[in-house]
Structure 1
Amino acid sequence: MLDKTYDSTAVEPKIAKKWDEADAFRAGANAKPGAETFTIVIPPPNVTGSLHMGHALNNTLQDIMIRFERMRGKDVLWQPGMDHAGIATQMVVERRLMERQQHRRDMGRDAFIEKVWEWKAESGGLIFNQLKRLGASCDWSRERFTMDDGLSEAVLEVFVSLYKEGLIYKDMRLVNWDPKLLTAISDIEVEQIEVKGNLWYLRYPLEPGVTYQHPIAFDEESKASEWETRDYLVVATTRPETMLGDSGVAVHPSDERYKLLIGKHVILPIVGRRIPIVADEYPDPTAGTGAVKMTPAHDFNDFDVGKRRGLRVINVLAADGSITIKDNEDFLEGLDNPAALHGAWDELEGKDRFEARKIIVRILEEAALVDKIEPHKHMVPHGDRGGVPIEPRLTEQWYVDAKTMAEPAIASVRDGRTRFVPKNWDKTYYEWMENIQPWCISRQLWWGHQIPAWYGPDGQVFVEKTEEEALQAAIQHYLSHEGPMKAYVEELLENFKPGEILTRDEDVLDTWFSSALWPFSTLGWPEETPELARYYPTNVLVTGFDIIFFWVARMMMMGLHFMKDENGDPVEPFGTVYIHALVRDKNGQKMSKSKGNVIDPIELIDQYGADSLRFTLAIMAAQGRDVKLDPARVAGYRNFGTKLWNATRFAEMNGVKSDPHFVPEAAELTINRWILTELARTERDVTEALEAYRFNDAAGALYRFVWNQFCDWYLELLKPVFIGDDEDGKAEAQACSAYVLEEIYKLLHPFMPFMTEELWEHTAGEGAVRDGLVCHAQWPSPSYADDVAADEINWLIDLVSGIRSVRSEMNVPPAATAPLVFIGANSVTRERLYRHDAAIKRLARVEAVSLADTAPKAAAQIVVAEATVCLPLGSLIDLDAEKSRLEKAIAKSESEIARIVGKLSNEKFVANANPDVVSAERDRLEELESQLSSLQVALSRVSEVG
Structure 2
Amino acid sequence: MSELPKTFDPKTIEERWYAHWETRGLFRPDRNDREPWTIVMPPPNVTGSLHIGHALDITLQDVLTRRERMLGKDALWVAGTDHAGIATQMVVERNLESQGIKRAEIGREAFLEHVWEWKAQSGGAITRQLRRLGASCDWAHERFTMDEGFSKAVVKVFVELYRRKLLYRAKRLVNWDPKFQTAISDLEVESREVQGHMWHFKYPLAGGETYTYVEKDEDGNVVLQEERDYISIATTRPETMLGDGAVAVHPDDERYRPIIGKLCEIPVGPKEHRRLIPIITDDYPDPNFGSGAVKITGAHDLNDYGVAQRNGIPMYRLMDATAHMRSDGPSYAQSAARAQAIARGEPASAEEIDTLNLVPDAYRGLDRYEARKQVVTDIDAEGLMIKVEDKLIMQPFGDRSGLVIEPMLTDQWYVDAETLAKPAIEAVRSGDIAVVPETWKKTWFNWLENIQPWCVSRQLWWGHRIPAWYADDGSVYVAETEEEAKAQAGGKPLRQDEDVLDTWFSSALWPFATLGWPEQTEDLERHYPNDVLISGFDIIFFWDARMAMQGFEFMGERPWKTLYLHGLVRDAKGQKMSKSKGNTVDPLGLIDKYGADALRFTLAAMESQGRDIKLDEKRVEGYRNFATKLWNAARFLQMNGVGASDSIAAPEAELPVNRWIIGEVVETLAKLNRAFDELRYDDMADAIYHFVWGTFCDWYVELIKGAFDDETKRVAAWAFDQILVMLHPLMPFITEELWGAMGERPYELIVAKWPEPAALANPIIATVDGEAVDARVEFDWIIRTIVAVRAAKNDAGIPPGQRLKAYLEDVTHNLWKRLPSAQAMFERVGRIEISSSEIPTGGVLRISAPGATLVVPLEGVIDLDAEKARLTKAADAAEKERDSLAQRLANPNFTERAKPEAVEKARADHDAKAAEAERLRAALERLG
1:223: Cα distance to partner?
4.4
1:98: Cα distance to partner?
0.7
Query: Quick one: which of 606, 620, 624 aligns to 1:634?
Result: 620
1:813: Cα distance to partner?
4.4
- Give the AA of the match of 2:426: A
Per-residue Cα deviation, 1:389-437 (whole angstroms, up to 9, x for no partner): 1011001100000000100110111111001100111110000000000
Equivalent positions of 1:39-54 (< 5 A) are 39-54=38-53
Task: State the percentage of identical aligned residues.
Answer: 48
C-alpha distance 328-889 of structure 1, shift in aligned 2 (>3 A):
farther
2:818 is paired with a residue whose SS is helix
Aligned position for 2:595: 609
1:531 and 2:523 aligned:
yes
Distance in 2 between residues matched to 1:756 and 1:644, nearest whole Å = 9
Query: Quick one: which of 400, 406, 410 aligns to 1:385?
Result: 400
Aligned position for 1:450: 465
C-alpha distance 895-207 of structure 1, shift in aligned 2 (>3 A):
farther
In 2, are the aligned partners of 1:323 and 1:352 still within 8 Å (CA)?
yes
- Give the AA of the match of 1:754: F
Per-residue Cα deviation, 1:81-128 (whole angstroms, up to 9, x for no partner): 100000000000000011111111111111111110000000002110
1:215: Cα distance to partner?
4.5
Distance in 2 between residues matched to 1:823 and 1:407, nearest whole Å = 72
- Give the AA of the match of 2:167: I
Distance in 2 between residues matched to 1:311 and 1:819, nearest whole Å = 94
Aligned position for 2:347: none
In 2, are the aligned partners of 1:894 and 1:932 still within 8 Å (CA)?
no
Aligned position for 1:934: 915
Per-residue Cα deviation, 1:63-97 (whole angstroms, up to 9, x for no partner): 00000010001110000010000000000000001
C-alpha distance 587-642 of structure 1, shift in aligned 2 (>3 A):
same
1:559: Cα distance to partner?
0.4
Distance in 2 between residues matched to 1:202 and 1:544, nearest whole Å = 45
1:393 is paired with a residue whose SS is strand
Aligned position for 1:773: 748
1:135 and 2:114 aligned:
no
Aligned position for 2:727: 748
1:891: Cα distance to partner?
4.0
Aligned position for 2:741: 762
Aligned position for 1:912: none
2:171 is paired with a residue whose SS is strand
Aligned position for 1:184: 183
1:889 and 2:884 aligned:
no
In 1, are the aligned partners of 2:336 and 2:358 still within 8 Å (CA)?
no
Aligned position for 1:554: 546
Aligned position for 2:336: 332
In 2, are the aligned partners of 1:42 and 1:79 still within 8 Å (CA)?
yes
1:286 and 2:275 aligned:
no
In 2, are the aligned partners of 1:316 and 1:324 still within 8 Å (CA)?
yes
Distance in 2 between residues matched to 1:614 and 1:738, nearest whole Å = 26
Per-residue Cα deviation, 1:506-555 (whole angstroms, up to 9, x for no partner): 00000000000000000000001111111111000000001101001000
Q: More deviation in 670-679 or 251-260? A: 251-260
- Give the AA of the match of 1:531: D
Query: Quick one: which of 467, 471, 483 aligns to 2:486?
Result: 471
- Give the AA of the match of 1:889: A
Equivalent positions of 1:167-206 (< 5 A) are 167-206=166-205
Per-residue Cα deviation, 1:442-463 (whole angstroms, up to 9, x for no partner): 0000000000000111010000
In 1, are the aligned partners of 2:190 and 2:399 still within 8 Å (CA)?
yes
Per-residue Cα deviation, 1:919-940 (whole angstroms, up to 9, x for no partner): x568646744652452243143
Distance in 2 between residues matched to 1:218 and 1:287, nearest whole Å = 14
1:843 and 2:841 aligned:
no
1:805: Cα distance to partner?
2.6
1:440 and 2:455 aligned:
yes
Aligned position for 2:416: 401
Aligned position for 2:101: 102
C-alpha distance 638-402 of structure 1, shift in aligned 2 (>3 A):
same
Equivalent positions of 1:233-632 (< 5 A) are 233-271=231-269, 272-324=274-326, 327=329, 331-334=335-338, 345-475=360-490, 501-563=493-555, 570-632=556-618
1:702 and 2:688 aligned:
yes
C-alpha distance 99-360 of structure 1, shift in aligned 2 (>3 A):
same
In 1, are the aligned partners of 2:215 and 2:222 still within 8 Å (CA)?
no
Equivalent positions of 1:824-843 (< 5 A) are 824-826=810-812, 828-843=814-829
Aligned position for 1:482: none
Aligned position for 1:862: 848
> What is the aligned-residue RMSD (CA, Å)?
2.6
In 2, are the aligned partners of 1:218 and 1:226 still within 8 Å (CA)?
no
Q: More deviation in 513-522 or 679-688? A: 679-688
TM-score by length of 1: 0.90
2:5 is paired with a residue whose SS is coil
Distance in 1 between residues matched to 2:841 and 2:260, nearest whole Å = 90
Distance in 2 between residues matched to 1:268 and 1:687, nearest whole Å = 69
Aligned position for 2:771: none
1:575: Cα distance to partner?
0.3
1:251: Cα distance to partner?
1.1
Per-residue Cα deviation, 1:870-910 (whole angstroms, up to 9, x for no partner): 5567845632332332343344355446656767997798x
Distance in 1 between residues matched to 2:800 and 2:425, nearest whole Å = 64
In 1, are the aligned partners of 2:296 and 2:308 still within 8 Å (CA)?
yes
1:229 and 2:191 aligned:
no
C-alpha distance 470-925 of structure 1, shift in aligned 2 (>3 A):
farther
C-alpha distance 473-218 of structure 1, shift in aligned 2 (>3 A):
closer
In 2, are the aligned partners of 1:40 and 1:79 still within 8 Å (CA)?
yes
1:742: Cα distance to partner?
0.8
Aligned position for 2:867: 878
- Give the AA of the match of 1:582: L
- Give the AA of the match of 1:25: F
1:173: Cα distance to partner?
0.5
C-alpha distance 686-290 of structure 1, shift in aligned 2 (>3 A):
same
Aligned position for 2:668: 682
C-alpha distance 326-559 of structure 1, shift in aligned 2 (>3 A):
closer
Distance in 2 between residues matched to 1:584 and 1:925, nearest whole Å = 23
Q: More deviation in 843-852 or 514-523? A: 843-852
Aligned position for 1:120: 119
In 2, are the aligned partners of 1:170 and 1:399 still within 8 Å (CA)?
yes
Distance in 2 between residues matched to 1:942 and 1:139, nearest whole Å = 59
In 2, are the aligned partners of 1:203 and 1:233 still within 8 Å (CA)?
yes
Distance in 1 between residues matched to 2:488 and 2:20, nearest whole Å = 55
C-alpha distance 906-111 of structure 1, shift in aligned 2 (>3 A):
same
1:309: Cα distance to partner?
1.9
C-alpha distance 299-907 of structure 1, shift in aligned 2 (>3 A):
farther
In 2, are the aligned partners of 1:823 and 1:867 still within 8 Å (CA)?
yes
Distance in 2 between residues matched to 1:366 and 1:800, nearest whole Å = 89
1:40 is paired with a residue whose SS is strand
1:656 is paired with a residue whose SS is coil
1:320 is paired with a residue whose SS is coil
1:711 and 2:710 aligned:
no
Distance in 2 between residues matched to 1:574 and 1:900, nearest whole Å = 50
Distance in 2 between residues matched to 1:172 and 1:288, nearest whole Å = 31
C-alpha distance 664-904 of structure 1, shift in aligned 2 (>3 A):
farther
- Give the AA of the match of 1:13: E
1:738 and 2:738 aligned:
no
1:216: Cα distance to partner?
6.7
C-alpha distance 167-659 of structure 1, shift in aligned 2 (>3 A):
closer
1:213: Cα distance to partner?
2.9
Per-residue Cα deviation, 1:163-190 (whole angstroms, up to 9, x for no partner): 0110000111100110111000001111
Distance in 1 between residues matched to 2:112 and 2:574, nearest whole Å = 42
Equivalent positions of 1:8-87 (< 5 A) are 8-26=10-28, 28-29=29-30, 31=31, 34-87=33-86
1:246: Cα distance to partner?
1.0
C-alpha distance 255-90 of structure 1, shift in aligned 2 (>3 A):
same
Query: Quick one: which of 653, 658, 665 aligns to 2:639?
Result: 653
- Give the AA of the match of 1:502: L
Aligned position for 1:913: none
C-alpha distance 659-542 of structure 1, shift in aligned 2 (>3 A):
closer
1:322 is paired with a residue whose SS is coil
